């Protein structure tokens, strides 16, 4: 048999909307070109019966481990994989479902299921369960981040994202500052790389890419508290699961 030297890749999805996988697919030809360079052995979005391999060079994980089955699968895949990349906000920061961590979980589930027993754990980020080598952030991820990260990975490099705030990109693009306009915007502390896409549409940044290293969370909090209630600020921080990491950053100070 001919020896195959292409890196073996798995793309797996835990509980999520699968939007990040669609961003990947939506790269169209560029995505298909990447596929030519790898052995894709597990990608259930397009293939229902994957071959299971003992070893993967790269495992890309989308979604959040909400069920015990999800956790088991994630841990198994970690053991089999050299590099584990997490894809998107659900995996990296918990996803919008992390909102329930701040409410009464039992009450929340009873408002959805009257009698069914459904697993209802606290939502935790993937790195609480396994070691994560690389994160592609965002809700959803950007196609550019994905292509560049994988491109570098295939050359044996671990990509480091430039640590800038969304504000930086927002200003470069000349968009209107919504913070100054009087909205709660997390742009000053959120990791750039999205090209301030929300601000382009006059939607304030709600932090889906998480904090950048060195973000001054306390400055922004003090500023926001002059004009908004803590509850209002919490709401915005909770939607994309960054309330816990912002609180952690505040505690450090």
Partner 1 sequence: MEGHTDFVAEILKGKVDSAKLITTEGARLIEGILIGRHFSEAPIITARICGICPVVHKLSSIKAIENAFKIKPTRQTVKLRKVLELAQIIHSHALHLFFLSLPDFFGVENDLILVKKYPKETKSALAIREWALKAIETIGGRAVHPIACEVGGFKVLPQRGELRNLANQFEPMLKNALTLVNLTLKIKYPKLKRKTIFISLANKDEYAIYDGDLKILSDTVKIIKAKDFNRDIKEIEEPYRAAKSATLKGEPFMVGALARINNNREKLNPLAKGILKGAHFKDPEYNVFLNIPAQAIEIVHCLEELSGLLNDLSSTLEPEKSLGSKLNVIGGANPLGREVVGADAVEAPRGTLYHHYKIDKNGYIKECTIITPTVSYLKNLEEDIKAYLPQVMNLNPQKRSLKIRALIRAYDPCISCATH
Residues that bind partner 1 (CB under 8 A): 14-23, 25-26, 28-29, 32, 35, 40, 44-49, 64-67, 69-70, 95-97, 99-100, 103, 107-109, 111-116, 118-120, 139-140, 183-184, 197-198, 200-204, 206, 228-229, 232, 235-236, 239
Output 22 or 223, the one with its CB closest to partner 1.
Answer: 22
Give DSSP secondary structure letters for 174-205. Answer: T---HHHHT----TTTBB--STTHHHHTT---
Nearer to partner 1, 163 or 229 (CB): 229
- The residue among 119 and 214 lying less far from partner 1, judged by its C-beta, is 119
Shortest gap between Cβ of 36 and partner 1 (angstroms)?
A: 11
Side-by-side strand order, sheet with 39-43? 39-43, 8-13, 56-62, 81-87, 134-136
Smallest separation (angstroms) from partner 1 to the CB of 82: 23
| Closest distance of CB 63 from partner 1, Å | 9
| Contact status, residue 207 vs residue 242, Cβ threshold 8 Å | yes
Q: What DSSP designation does 214 have?
A: T
Tell me the closest approach of the beta carbon of residue 166 to partner 1, in angstroms.
Answer: 14
- How near is the Cβ of 203 to partner 1 at its closest, in Å? 5
**Got the DSSP string for 11-40?**
EEE-BS--HHHHHHHTTTHHHHHHHHHSEE
d(C-alpha 66, C-alpha 123), whole Å? 7
CB 31 within 8 A of CB 24: yes
Q: Could you tell me the smallest distance in angstroms from the CB atom of residue 218 to partner 1?
A: 21
DSSP strand pairing (39-43 vs 8-13): parallel
Residue closer to partner 1 by CB (options 43, 212) is: 43
Nearer to partner 1, 108 or 158 (CB): 108
| Closer residue to partner 1 in complex, CB, 129/228 | 228
Residue 105 DSSP code: H
Q: 93 by DSSP, 3-state: which?
A: helix
């Amino acid at each position: 048999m001919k020896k195959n030297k292409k890196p073996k890749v798995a793309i797996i999805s835990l509980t999520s909307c699968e939007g990040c996988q669609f961003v990947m697919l939506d790269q169209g030809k560029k995505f298909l070109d990447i596929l030519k360079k790898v052995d894709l052995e597990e990608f259930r979005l397009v293939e229902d019966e994957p071959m299971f391999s003992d070893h993967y060079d790269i495992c890309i994980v989308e979604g959040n481990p909400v069920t015990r089955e999800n956790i088991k699968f994630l841990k198994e895949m970690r053991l089999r994989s050299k590099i584990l990349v997490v894809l998107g906000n659900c995996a990296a920061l918990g996803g919008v479902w992390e909102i329930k961590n701040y409410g009464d979980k039992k009450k929340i589930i009873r408002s959805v299921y009257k009698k069914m027993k459904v697993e209802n754990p606290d939502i935790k980020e993937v790195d609480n369960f396994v070691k994560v080598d690389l994160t592609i952030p965002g809700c959803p991820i950007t196609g550019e981040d994905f292509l560049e990260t994988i491109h570098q990975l295939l050359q044996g490099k671990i990509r480091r994202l430039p640590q800038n705030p969304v504000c930086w990109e927002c200003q470069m693009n000349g968009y209107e500052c919504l913070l100054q306009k009087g909205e709660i915007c997390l742009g000053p502390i959120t990791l750039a790389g999205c090209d301030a896409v929300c601000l382009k549409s006059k939607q304030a940044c709600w932090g889906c890419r998480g904090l950048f290293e060195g973000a001054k969370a306390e400055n922004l909090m003090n500023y926001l508290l002059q004009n908004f209630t803590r509850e209002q600020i919490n709401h915005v921080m909770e939607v994309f699961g960054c309330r816990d990491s912002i609180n952690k950053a505040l505690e450090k100070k």
